[in-house]
Amino acid sequence: LQFFSWWSSYNEAINYLASVPKYRIQATEIARQQGLLNKTKEKGKNRRSKEEIREEEEEIIKDIIKNKIDIKGGYQKPKIYDILLFQILLAPFYWCKYIVWYCSWIYCFTIKGQEYGVEQKLYIIRRYMKMSQSQFDSLEDHQKETFLERQLWIRENYEVYKREQEEELKKKMAMDPRWKRYRRWMKNEGPGRLTFIDD
């Protein structure tokens, strides 16, 4: 049930992306370049109706979107190993793998004092940001490069970066007309109050 529910969500996401003009135009262009939509029209007995041709084109566009777009989060392509049953069965393996990894981390970077590689730096940054692996993977490459340039794996640098982001968010909220209206409404009227006084 879990797997089929995820598969249904994934298909919904693909159908939605196929209806968005931006992605549809890109997928159509790729299909034309690959010669998938430029097929010559059949004649005689092999001739198909316009509806059949349209359905085939729709399937081609959806296949290209499936192959070219990497969907993250709750609508990503389901994998059999992500199902709860498999997670429970594989839990001892994952625990052993994590213990081995953690011991090697302590030995290499705490005891031997080796310098962090790019992967280790990004891992520390991700931990500071309290993001899951899938959330962090969905970030743009230029954002990750910025994190590395600013040396955010060092706690002091990350704290400075965090304060800057909070200040920037406050400025955006102060300039946003919707937030201004909301603050004005809270100040003047506040949320509605329920009273039980008889008229």
Q: Are residues 8 and 74 in the same domain?
A: yes
With respect to residue 124, please indicate whether it lies within any of the assigned structural domains: yes
With respect to residue 46, please indicate whether it lies within any of the assigned structural domains: no
Q: Are residues 67 and 99 in the same domain?
A: no
Q: Could you give the number of structural domains in the chain?
A: 3
With respect to residue 48, please indicate whether it lies within any of the assigned structural domains: no
Q: Are residues 2 and 73 in the same domain?
A: yes
Contacts for 58 with CB less than 8 Å, ≥ 6 apart:
18
Q: Using 50 as the pLDDT threshold, list the residues of the chain that sit under it.
A: 40, 194-196, 199
Identify the domain containing residue 67 by its residue range: 1-37+53-78
With respect to residue 199, please indicate whether it lies within any of the assigned structural domains: no
pLDDT at residue number 97: 94
Last residue of a domain, one of 97, 114, 131: 114
Between CA 145 and CA 118 the distance in angstroms is 10
CA distances from 128 to 74, 136, 145, 158, 178 (A): 23, 11, 16, 8, 31
Instruction: Answer whether 47's CB lies under 8 Å from 110's CB.
Output: no
The token pair at 64 is 């290209």
With respect to residue 43, please indicate whether it lies within any of the assigned structural domains: no
pLDDT at residue number 177: 77
Q: Are residues 31 and 67 in the same domain?
A: yes
Q: Are residues 102 and 121 in the same domain?
A: no
Q: Are residues 14 and 33 in the same domain?
A: yes
Q: Which phi and psi (to 5°) does residue 131 adopt?
A: -110, 150
pLDDT at residue number 192: 53
With respect to residue 65, please indicate whether it lies within any of the assigned structural domains: yes
Q: Are residues 125 and 109 in the same domain?
A: no
With respect to residue 17, please indicate whether it lies within any of the assigned structural domains: yes
pLDDT at residue number 40: 44
Q: Are residues 110 and 153 in the same domain?
A: no
Q: Are residues 7 and 72 in the same domain?
A: yes
Q: Are residues 89 and 134 in the same domain?
A: no
Contacts for 36 with CB less than 8 Å, ≥ 6 apart:
60
The token pair at 169 is 């968010």
Q: Are residues 131 and 170 in the same domain?
A: yes
With respect to residue 45, please indicate whether it lies within any of the assigned structural domains: no
Q: Are residues 144 and 103 in the same domain?
A: no
Between CA 131 and CA 125 the distance in angstroms is 9
Between CA 16 and CA 62 the distance in angstroms is 10
Quick check: helix, strand or coil at residue 109?
Answer: helix
